Amino acid sequence: MKVIRTNNYEEMSKVAADLVISKIKAQPNITLGLATGSTPINLYRQMIQDHQQNGTSYKNIYTVNLDEYIGLPKEHPSSYYFFMKNELFDHLDIPKEQTFIPSGVVADLDEECEKFEQIITNVGGIDLQILGIGPNGHIAFNEPGTPFESRTHVVNLTESTIKANSRFFKTIEEVPTRAISLGLKTIFESKQIILLASGPKKAHAIRDLIDGPIDEQYPASILKKHPNSILIADNDAMQLVSTKSDTILSSDFLAR
Ligand code: PGA
C-alpha cells in the first residue's frame, strides 16, 4: 500500500481527483467503485467541475456503489442512492442505467447480495475503487471482525457506526441498524483501490492501519495485501502514525 500524506482535506481531494480523472481519461469505459459519506464529497465536486470545464465524459463509464441502508427507499434523503444522485450522477453525463447501488428495500436481501456480485462480474470487475474509512476502521460497512473472505452481505451495524452516521439523520433512532455491503473479498478484487481519510476522527483507524497488523479486527488492513492500493490521508488523520516518514510520500512528489 502506497501512502500519500497531504496537508489538509482540500489537498487530499485534489490528489485523489487528479488520479481518478487521469484514469478515466486513459480508460473511458472504466468501472468505478464509489463510496458515500463526507470524505469523497470534494473529490466528486472536482470530478463534476472537470466534466463541466474540460468535457471529460462518463457516457461509457459504469459505477458500482459499496453499500446501502436496509429499509431506506431511493427517495429517502439519507439513502445512499439519494446521496449519489445529488452529489455526483445528476451532474455528469453518465447514463443512469450504468450506475448500480444495492437496494435496501427488496423482499429477498440475500438474493440482492448475489445479484450485486453478478452485476460486478457482468461489468468486468471494478477497475478503480474509492473508499472512505470509519472511525472504527471499517471499509464499506465491513465492521471489525468481518472475514477477509466475505462477499456482498447483510450487515448489523455496530453502535459506533450508528452513532457516527447519525449526523446524516434527524435523530439517532432514525439510523437504520442494518445495511447491504460489498464484502472485503469483493473490494479486494478491485484492480486499484484508493482509500481516503481526513480529520482527527480517523486518526486511530489510520494508526491501526499503518502501524498495526493485517488482521480481521482492522478491516482496512486487507488493503496492505493489495498490489495496487493507495492511502491518501491528511495530516490530521495521520497524526498518530509512528511509521518512519521516508515510507510515506508527501503530496508534492506527484508534481515532481
Ligand atoms: P465519512 O464515512 O466519509 O462520512 O467519514 C466514512 C465511513 O464511515 O466509511
Task: State in Å: Cα 176 to ligand 1 middle.
Answer: 16
Task: State in Å: Cα 256 to ligand 1 middle.
Answer: 31
pLDDT along the chain (256 residues), means of 10: 96 98 97 98 98 98 98 96 98 98 97 98 98 96 97 96 94 97 98 98 97 97 97 97 74 62
Report the alpha-carbon distance of residue 30 to residue 126 in Å, rounded: 8
pLDDT for the residue numbered 245: 59
Residues 6 or more apart from 254 whose CB is under 8 A from it? 4, 15, 18
pLDDT for the residue numbered 250: 75
Active site residue 108: no
Using alpha carbons, list the distances in angstroms from residue 37 to 20, 231, 249. 18, 17, 25
Q: How many CB atoms lie within 10 A of CB 2?
A: 12
Instruction: Retrieve residue 29's grid coordinates.
Output: 469505459
Task: State in Å: Cα 62 to ligand 1 middle.
Answer: 22
pLDDT for the residue numbered 252: 67
Q: Among 38, 39, 69, which is best to mutate for testing ligand 1, by the most ligand atoms less than 8 A from CB?
A: 39
Report the predicted TM-score, pTM, of the whole model to 2 decimal places. Answer: 0.96
